[in-house]
Structure 1
Amino acid sequence: MLPLLQARISLIFDILGEFVVSATPLAINFHSFKLKIDLSNGTTFRLNEQYRDDQLQRYAYYWLDDVNNLIIGWDNAPHHPHISTHPDHKHVTLQTNIHPSTETDLTAVLGVIHEELSTKEV
């Protein structure tokens, strides 16, 4: 699991490096890990990934404002079958505000966050 974790942290720094204040592992076990990334504008990015045979099975990526309110959250929990991109979807501003998501991997999600951080204050 450590090589996967190290690769994810490297990817985060490759894409968001100029905005990263700290990266803190919150949990690491045999098949999953959680990270908290503090960003320079006071927001945080939370990552939760679960693997089977080194293949990503489940993900949840949540970007939170400075008081932990949701900005955008992406995940692939299969609880919204009516969404066209099922099981991939995103929650915008509220957990109940669910949208299809074309951002289905960490690189795409980090790209969205980078774009937002580069163009405006959140």
Structure 2
Amino acid sequence: MTDESKEHIHLDNNQLAKIRTLLANERTFLAWCRTSLGLLGFGFLIEKVGLYMKKFLTDVPVSVIEDMTWLSLFTLSSGMVILVGAAVRFFYFERKIGSKIKWATPYPELLVTLTVGLIFIISALASKMML
């Protein structure tokens, strides 16, 4: 039994190589997004531990709490820089290679970038409100 309603797409090796490159670009982008989210989460964890130490552990030196605040800011900003860098790299390669393949659209990756950025902004505002 053959299903003749299915449409067969014939791709040559060059088109298949471009598709593999696009998929590898997407996997790389998502890996960098995971790294960025990990750094953002670690930065918020450091900030929360600093706030806990400031409120409940009064014998901790102020310099340690200030160092934790700077470390959390560095970690948070590194996460955002990595996210923006990954997005720029992804869209550069998507435009360079993806324009040659008509079915490739970068909309899901744009959604991921905007969602992670929005999570960062909301979390930063929420952590400042708790001070």
Q: Please, what TM-score do these two structures have when normalized by structure 2?
A: 0.21
Q: Which has the higher strand share?
A: 1
Q: Which has the higher helix share?
A: 2
Q: Please, what TM-score do these two structures have when normalized by structure 1?
A: 0.22
> Is the radius of gyration larger for structure 1 or structure 2?
2
Higher RCO structure, 1 or 2 (CA under 8 Å, sep 6+): 2
